[in-house]
Chains A and B, each alone.
Chain A
Amino acid sequence: MNYSPLTDADRQDMFSAIGVKSFDDLIANIPLTLRGRGLNLPQGLSEFELRGYFEKILSSGRTAGDFNSFLGAGSYDHYIPAVVPQIVGRGEFVTAYTPYQAEASQGTLQAIFEYQSMMAELTGLEVANGSHYDGATAFAEGILLALRTTQRKKALIARTVHPEYRAVAATYLAGTDHTVEEIPYTRAGGLDLDFLKKKLSSEVGCVAVSNPNFFGMVENLTEAVALTHGNQSLFLMTGHPLSFSVFCSPGEWGADMACGEAQPLGLGLNFGGPYIGYFAASHALMRKIPGRLVGLTTDRCGKRAFVLTLQAREQHIRREKASSNICSNQALCALAVCVYLSSLGWDGIREVASLNIEKACKLRDQISKLREFEIPFGGTVFNEFVVRSRKPLEPLMGKLFEKGILAGHALEKSYPELKDHFLVTVTEKKTDAQMLEFTECLRGL
């Protein structure tokens, strides 16, 4: 069988079947000015020349590793043990997609099952799904789930949740009859409990809070959770997942759901993606959670087997009644998280988390002693904190950039009230020398 697609003879056959002479005849009603005029491309390059061309472009770019970087704000530069890319790169695992065919995909399904088990343990909740595309979409799906489960119209979202997560949630809710109201933060940078108390009503189905919050602060959520549950609303917690190993996890705070970004658990910065959203919930919500779930069962011979489970929740079966359109996950990223968490173990995870806290506190202490800078929010932090510059921030950031230092994330764009404030992130990768270089440069400005 000849498999050449669309030969001239094929075209001619089709033209005569529909009664035109040529392709131009077929599109005669499209004005000439709107038609493509062909591509004006230079001559092709040899493989050798092409490689040189791209290498030149690549070498003009710089990555976080080329700087002394204190950027975070949702994307974290943690150390990734060599075993992670080694295993993730194995051909057997290469798929971006959830495998349907259990009989041919036991390895991938087991990896997702292990990922779910570890995320459930880390978040302190009873069930975790096979992951979402990123933290923002996981967060938005969590809000939807809460509103649909409670059959209420309104979500209260803390202003100290990542601004991009709030934006994505607003997009998800646009066009529905659901509404969102922001819970402001106090002068100390924490959740405004008085506001929450006032706003809780029979309309509110969901309260969503970040802990650590976007300013890096870790808060006591006991009262917020009690107030929320007293109102028969569901409590959603997001936040840096490594912090859950040393501070209370979402489950320990009493949250019904934990939805956020698992990129810090073994994925690189990757220029913003692919990332991976974690989604965990209480047993009571199990049949409503969106996305893929892998379960453990036995085959007909009694042998252990992993399969996709509870699929009647999902859109391809429940159609318009499903709680979500998501019928996939980030399989390869979930594998990376799975390998990262297993290679560190509980002790290792806690050690990394503790290093983040120690180093962040150390740098905060150093910066707080500088005359031109101030730490506006006190309290417990995980690996980030806010700094206010007494001088205009933009030129200052520029000077630091020239010295090879990324000072952090300027907050004014998302928080106009925080002019000249920036968010500084310190992971376990920062050395004493790098932190000292940073403070010395700040002092000299």
Chain B
Amino acid sequence: MNFPKTLKYAKTHEWARREGSSVVAGLSEYAQKELSDVVYVELPAIGREVKQGQPCAVVESVKAAFDVYAPVSGKIVKVNKTLEANPSLVNTDSYGEGWFFEIDPSTSGEWDSLLDSGTYESVLQESAH
């Protein structure tokens, strides 16, 4: 599976990328494969304050519904509206067009608590055993 080294990860299977002062987040390839075909994404309202590790979006597949957690605390500044019409982007391009939301972080320390790709992969391997 592909876990780009340029991204950071949360144990709850979100990826995060810095873009200027903002943090963009989506679901890892592992998560999208576990979900199977995504049929619906419920995104947070723009302007909503979120806390690291708290649910702020819902992703629904043909077999289940899961919460998506905020990788860092802050304010939602952008959401990927195209997912409402085309939720399968989460499956086909999870690190690109399948992004979920953009957060303006309220603190800088939380970024370092996220996992790098190697650590995330070893977390996945451990949980598989």
Q: A residues engaging B (CB < 8 A)?
A: 287, 312-313, 317-318, 321
In the assembled complex, B46 has its CB within 8 A of some CB on chain A: no
Q: A287 contacts which chain B residues (CB < 8 A)?
A: 40, 42, 60
Q: How far is the CB of A168 from chain B (nearest CB, A)?
A: 27
Q: A318 contacts which chain B residues (CB < 8 A)?
A: 65
Q: How would residues 39 to 54 of chain B score, 1 for a CB under 8 Å from any chain A CB and 0 otherwise?
A: 1101000000000000
Within 8 A of A (CB), among B1-51: 39-40, 42
> Among the interface residues B42, B60, B61, B67, which one has the most CB atoms of the partner chain A within 10 A?
B60
Q: Find A317's partner among B40, B42, B64, B67 (CB 8 Å cutoff).
A: B64
* Number of residues from B at the complex interface, CB < 8 A: 10
Q: B residues engaging A (CB < 8 A)?
A: 39-40, 42, 58, 60-61, 63-65, 67
Nearest 4 CB-CB pairs, A to B?
A312-B65, A312-B60, A318-B65, A317-B64
A312, B42: Cβ atoms closer than 8 Å: no
Nearest residue, chain A, Cβ from B67: A321
Bound state CA distance, A30 and B25, in angstroms?
A: 61
SS of A interface (majority): helix
Q: How far is the CB of B56 from chain A (nearest CB, A)?
A: 12
Q: B42 contacts which chain A residues (CB < 8 A)?
A: 287
Bound state CA distance, A317 and B65, in angstroms?
A: 7
Bound state CA distance, A313 and B60, in angstroms?
A: 9
Q: B65 contacts which chain A residues (CB < 8 A)?
A: 312-313, 317-318, 321
Nearest residue, chain A, Cβ from B42: A287
Q: How far is the CB of A290 from chain B (nearest CB, A)?
A: 14
Nearest residue, chain A, Cβ from B45: A151
Nearest residue, chain B, Cβ from A288: B42
> Among the interface residues B63, B64, B65, B67, which one has the most CB atoms of the partner chain A within 10 A?
B65
Bound state CA distance, A313 and B65, in angstroms?
A: 8
Bound state CA distance, A318 and B66, in angstroms?
A: 8
Q: Find B61's partner among A312, A313, A321 (CB 8 Å cutoff).
A: A312
Q: How far is the CB of B99 from chain A (nearest CB, A)?
A: 21
Q: B61 contacts which chain A residues (CB < 8 A)?
A: 312
Q: How far is the CB of A66 from chain B (nearest CB, A)?
A: 52
Bound state CA distance, A212 and B63, in angstroms?
A: 41
Q: How far is the CB of A297 from chain B (nearest CB, A)?
A: 12
Q: B64 contacts which chain A residues (CB < 8 A)?
A: 312, 317
17 A-B contacts, Cβ less than 8 Å apart?
A287-B40, A287-B42, A287-B60, A312-B39, A312-B40, A312-B60, A312-B61, A312-B64, A312-B65, A313-B65, A317-B63, A317-B64, A317-B65, A318-B65, A321-B58, A321-B65, A321-B67
